[in-house]
Structure 1
Amino acid sequence: MRRSKTDTEIDALRNAISNEFMNHQGWTTDNNGRVKENGIQVFKAGYITAIHKILNKYKKYIHYLKKV
C-alpha cells in the first residue's frame, strides 16, 4: 500500500520529537517544550508541545474518519 504524503509528514513530526532522535542529537527538553543542547536553546518554548498537539489532533481526526 502506498503511503500518503500526510503519513510521511506525520512520521517526520513523530521522529522530530522522539526520544531516540533527541538522544542522538544530544538534546534535552523542558516542561515548556523547549529543546536545548548543553544548556543552549535549539528550539524555543512550545516546540515539543506544539508538535504533540498536531499529532493528537491528527490522531483524533483519523479516528473520526473511521467512524463516518
Structure 2
Amino acid sequence: MKIAIYKPGGSIMVWGVMAQLKVIDPSELSEYVKDGWLDHPSKLLSSEVGDAKPRKGRKLKAESDADKD
C-alpha cells in the first residue's frame, strides 16, 4: 500500500494550502520526513500558521468609544 506525503509550497491545493504531493512506499517515509515532507495534510496547516504574521483584529465598540473621551 502506498501513502501520500506533503510539502508546503507546491502547485496542488490541499486543505486550502498550496503544497507538493508525492506518493511513496511506507518504507521510504523516514527519509522523506528528514527532508521536510509531512505525513498528513493537517500538518500543512500548522506549518502555515507559524509562517504568517499575526494580524490585528478590529477594536471592540466599547474600546473605540473609550478612545473618543
TM-score by length of 2: 0.30
Considering Cα pairs closer than 8 Å and 6+ residues apart, tell me whether 1 or 2 has the greater RCO.
2
Computing the radius of gyration from Cα coordinates, the structure with the larger value is 2
Name whichever structure is richer in helix by fraction.
1
TM-score by length of 1: 0.30
